[in-house]
Structure 1
């Protein structure tokens, strides 16, 4: 497959393929005129790169998983560690989402008068948002009004 076909099928720009080749993530098998040629299995490798990038791996970390000319080698502990990082990110983002939802629906006259919002503000000021399990579950407007 030429580079244009690979780019179209993988959904990435040709410049990305050239960059990945420069970084050693993929390898062309030759040329047809000025166009690079790739084996069809490059699409699987590009899919693995896309998954790894989405999971938060750097290109250098991904390159370490790909031995030249061999199948990718995934260190299971590295994968488990990345899953733990994602869990922590999910907890922080969930707490942020819950705080924003509360602020959007809070019946207090101002956000600064809302005890729940103040707790989120204090947590943000200290650099540690609360874990989602410490965020009160969503309740009806009447219950939230009584709490504020």
Structure 2
């Protein structure tokens, strides 16, 4: 299937809200792969609008470019991705997003109380983490990392 009139980098920038330099950066990272026309100008597929939008949203959610590139590598080469192709990406991405949501909910709900970090600076921590028992499980905010507070002694 021949590429319909592709989008110039300027058109792609207008459609995505990205700077041209950002699109070039994403191209260098292999997240989009334009073809060159006879004059050497980049020509992007319309589906690159969605790819770059996915990159932007994923980065806002805290995913690294390497993680995003690994997901996008699952899309077909040489043709625009179909709804089924995107559904496969979504399924792979969903577990990571759900884990991040769970972590954010725990952070929101526990941040004003004891998080098992060992600071012992809050009087409430003496109730939830007496004598810094959480440190036995390792460093860091143990309760936010999924450890459960010990009940009793």
Normalized against structure 1, the TM-score is what?
0.57
Aligned length: 122
DSSP 3-state at the match of 2:124: helix
8 Å contact kept, 2:31–2:69: no
Residues 107-146 of structure 1 mapped to structure 2, 5 A cutoff: 112=121, 114-118=122-126, 119=128, 122=132, 126-130=139-143
**1:53 corresponding residue in structure 2:** 59
Mapped to 2, the partners of 1:34 and 1:99 lie a distance apart of 59
Greater RCO, CA 8 A, separation 6+: 1
1:78 matched to 2:99: no
Mapped to 1, the partners of 2:94 and 2:50 lie a distance apart of 22
- CA shift, 1:3, in A, is 0.8
**1:98 corresponding residue in structure 2:** 112
Per-residue CA deviations over 1:1-24 (Å, capped at 9, x if unaligned) read 221221232122222212322333
Mapped to 2, the partners of 1:31 and 1:120 lie a distance apart of 65
DSSP 3-state at the match of 2:42: strand
Mapped to 2, the partners of 1:52 and 1:4 lie a distance apart of 22
1:14 to 2, 17, 20: 20
1:43 matched to 2:57: no
- CA shift, 1:44, in A, is 1.7
**2:72 corresponding residue in structure 1:** 63
DSSP 3-state at the match of 1:25: coil
- CA shift, 1:37, in A, is 2.3
The CA RMSD over aligned residues, in Å, is 3.6
